Structure 1
Amino acid sequence: MAKQPIVLVALVLLLVHVRARDDNGLGASFIFGDSLVDAGNNNYLQTLSKANIPPNGIDFRASGGNPTGRFTNGRTIGDIVGEELGQPNYAVPFLSPNSTGKAILSGVNYASGGGGILNATGRIFVNRLSLDIQVDYFNITRKQLDSLLGPSQAKDYLMKKSIFSITIGSNDFLNNYLLPVLSIGARASQTPDAFIDDMINHLRNQLTRLYQLDARKFVLGNVGPIGCIPYQKTINQLSSDQCVDLANQLARQYNSRLQDLLTELNENLPGATFVHANVYDLVMELITNYDNYGFTTATTACCGNGGQFAGIVPCGPVSSLCSDRSTHVFWDPYHPSEAANLILAKQLVDGDTRYISPMNLRQLRDL
């Protein structure tokens, strides 16, 4: 008989531990962006930008190595950040049939391959979700949260227990301003300054809309060194240690303006915290010193075809595939491998102000 109270005490302690872990963990992750963080929304669109074919997802344990629509061999940065911060489940893609009821309490992913800040971005893919549409979709989720939790608790959950991450902007250059077929008119009439002005003004409006819908903890990734991806190196016939200057220059120009915008929003939107993720320098560090991180190449895509760096044809069933995915910084002509995503995500979660400022994501969660 004496055993019963001991079992009871153990059970109570276990429940207390679970409750404490729940309170410390991240409640929800709301993810906006492009193919770097798309978790399967494009599977439900008639689009040319899809990753629901093998060998994409070959290392994604949750699906048993089957493709899910993630544009990498395993987890995206968004997936890994959520895990590191104690989010109970991956944020569910908004367009998937199971993005209803309690599933949305771990967060929702609105990201879309080919999507950009500007609505015209990614037209070449036919369909994609621009940031405008992604925020419209969050508005739907916002109402669902009121129904699930009640208005007061929903507001509290969003303001205190949720992180809003936005990873977008690369396509506005790669599949808009720099795309010869579509953008010759835009480039003739718009200087880089004017184009970037448009991007920043659009982004300001969307972030303010999210704030008005009770988002308070934000992280924004800047645009990475897009002139160094295998696709750009291949089509411009560069050597392995060269990058396309114009593409990187545009990224740096936008990134400088983004930093100013986040400072402005931190000052003007009471109670909000906007964290700046310096993806450009983080990825450049990986590309420059890849061998220090256990990679053998930062130029050749693991999965792809065409040209010197397998950088022209996207990853698919007939692509050449490297034997060891963990040794490549790039999974395909555009996107990092899971091994690279892991390094990037851990810097964002626990890194210092070189890469994530004014605080890292663990500190943002605990605010």
Structure 2
Amino acid sequence: MNLALVFLIIIINNLRLFAKGTEDANAAAGLGASFIFGDSLVDAGNNNYLPTLSRANIPPNGIDFKPSGGNPTGRYTNGRTIGDIVGEELGQPHYAVPFLAPNSTGKVILHGVNYASGGGGIMNATGRIFINRLSIEIQVDYFNITRKQIEQLLGEKQARDYIMRKSIFSVTIGSNDFLNNYLLPVLSIGARVSQTPDSFINDLITHLKAQLTRLYQLDARKFIVGNVGPIGCIPYQKTINRLNEDECVALPNKLANQYNERLKGLIAELNKNLPGATFVHANVYDLVMEIITNYEKYGFTTASRACCGNGGQFAGIIPCGPQSSMCSDRDKHVFWDPYHPSEAANIIVAKQLVDGDTKYISPMNLRQLRDLGL
């Protein structure tokens, strides 16, 4: 081997080591570190590793997700989730890895971990029709495992600093507690007879408060908590209730608003009572309702019909799968399937959360939250 080739190999290896060292340093610096808790709106593939009826690891889900070459990853949309887009916007070098994925070990967790699960809810019983799913309580249990792994990687003091100052904890949950629990046809009738909406919502707030407090006790300090969107306006609800295009089902939206009002109070209480913590409130309900109501202004042609689905006027009964009809203009549909927004809608929501004003995110946006105390 000639000398020039030896030098070239040494230089290439040094560059690789430098690049790896830079990446590890960036990870340790917590640039855009993101810990994601929630349901199918932000699940990045955890349900792929569960024996469950709620899965999105079948085509054409993920058809526009470039990192997988258009193959399904377990995301319940055609492309990126809101969590993916927020991470990109905040400078996260890699998507938060699903906790249950085999590669969620080692330094990759320093970029963040995704614990979200399709069908999961605030209440442990929510989503039981899917057999398996991760409730918020189980998701926090899993973060406790990650917390110990970060300590092994960085040492006790640096791990605590990394989690407290340089990590954002996002919580997107609550929709399934209504759609797949309290409002579930047939199965939930007994619950609705025995428990008033106020009592059920009180249980939700109590459970959520306990889990957010647990995260605080595990050193989480920067939180964003989303409220429940206009679940009465999704294609599934419009289809089964045979509504007109510009109508939404009243009861689910009424319950969502009742819950959202209580959530706002909870976030104010936690900001007051947990020293050093900042809880940011994402008004997802009003933001998504704005997109649905004025969809043409945002470049969409429909806010009622699912791009991928079958059944009824709005293709809203049968979930998206290989046998589904699929629209050709995916970026013109607010909804990808009977339940979930398209990537195009997710982009609008995510960008408002990152850089928007207090109309939709308060008391600060996510870019300001990321830089807080740094």
- Per the alignment, residue 83 of structure 1 pairs with 88
* 2:148 equivalent in structure 1: 143
Per the TM alignment, residue 37 of structure 1 is displaced from its structure 2 partner at its CA by 0.1
Partner of 2:366: 361
Q: 1:256 and 2:261 equivalent?
A: yes
Q: Is residue 287 of structure 2 the alignment partner of residue 276 of structure 1?
A: no
8 Å Cα contact 1:305-1:311 kept in structure 2? yes
Any idea what SS the aligned residue of 2:37 has? strand
Classify the secondary structure of the residue corresponding to 1:306: coil
- Residue 187 of structure 2: SS of its match in structure 1? helix
> Which residue does the alignment assign to 2:248?
243
State the secondary structure of the residue aligned to 1:181: coil
Verify: 1:286 aligned to 2:291, yes or no. yes
Q: Which residue of 1 aligns with 2:125?
A: 120
Query: Partners of 1:25 and 1:301 in 2: how far apart?
Result: 37
SS, match of residue 165 in structure 1? strand
Structure 2 contact 52–133 (Cα < 8 Å) conserved: yes
Among candidates 94, 102, 125, match of residue 97 of structure 1: 102
Q: How many residues align?
A: 353
C-alpha distance in structure 1 between counterparts of 2:134 and 2:257, whole Å: 25
Deviations 1:8-56 (A, max 9, x none): xxx9xx99xx799879873410000000000000000010100000000
Normalising by structure 1, what TM-score? 0.94
Report the Cα distance in structure 1 between the residues aligned to 2:186 and 2:44, rounded to whole angstroms.
29
| 1:211 and 2:216 are equivalent in the alignment | yes
1:284-315: CA deviation from partner (whole Å, max 9, x where unpaired) = 00000000000000000000000000000000
Tell whether 2:344 aligns with 1:339. Answer: yes
The answer to whether 1:176 aligns with 2:145 is no
- What is the distance in 1 between the residues matched to 2:191 and 2:252? 16
CA contact (8 A) 1:27 1:157 kept: no
Determine the structure 2 residue equivalent to 1:189: 194
Q: 1:234 aligns with which of 234, 239, 242?
A: 239
The offset of 1:233, in angstroms, is 0.2
Pairing partner for 2:171 from 157, 166, 179: 166
Unaligned residue ranges in structure 2 (runs of 5+):
1-14
Q: Distance between the aligned counterparts of 1:146 and 1:159, measured in 2?
A: 13
- Aligned partners of 2:126 and 2:180 also within 8 Å: yes
Q: Over the residues paired in the alignment, what is the CA RMSD in angstroms?
A: 1.6
Deviation per CA, 1:51-80, whole angstroms, max 9, x where unpaired? 000000000001010000000000000000
Q: Which letter maps to 2:228?
A: V
**Structure-1 separation of matches of 2:359 and 2:29:** 26
Taking the aligned partners of 2:247 and 2:324, their CA distance within structure 1 comes to 24
**SS of residue paired to 1:332:** coil
User: Kindly tell me: are residues 142 and 277 of structure 1, through their superposed partners in 2, closer, same or farther at Cα, counting changes over 3 Å?
Assistant: same
Measure how far apart 1:276 and its partner are: 0.2
Q: Deviations over 1:201-235 (max 9, x none)?
A: 00000000000000000000000000000000000
Deviation at 1:173, TM superposition (A): 0.1
Residue 361 of structure 1: how far off its partner (Å): 0.2
Asked if the contact 1:26–1:82 (Cα under 8 Å) also holds between the matched residues in 2, the reply is: no
Q: Please, which of 124, 130, 135 is the counterpart of residue 130 of structure 1?
A: 135
TM-score (norm 2): 0.92
Q: Deviations over 1:227-286 (max 9, x none)?
A: 000000000010000000000000000000000000000000000000000000000000
From 300, 308, 333, the equivalent of 1:303 is 308
Letter in 2 for 1:287: I
Alpha-carbon separation, structure 1, partners of 2:228 and 2:49 = 26
The one-letter code matched in structure 2 to 1:336 is: P
User: Counterpart in 1 of 2:8?
Assistant: none
Sort the Cα spacing of 1:21 and 1:148 in 2 relative to 1 into closer, same or farther, 3 A. closer
Post-superposition offset of 1:181: 2.5
Secondary structure (helix, strand or coil) at the match of 2:34 reads strand
Paired with 2:55 and 2:47, the residues of 1 have a C-alpha distance of: 6
> 2: CA distance between counterparts of 1:30 and 1:336?
21
Distance in 2, Cα, partners of 1:265 & 1:46 = 35
Of 189, 198, 202, the residue aligned with 2:203 is 198
Q: Does 1:330 align with 2:335?
A: yes
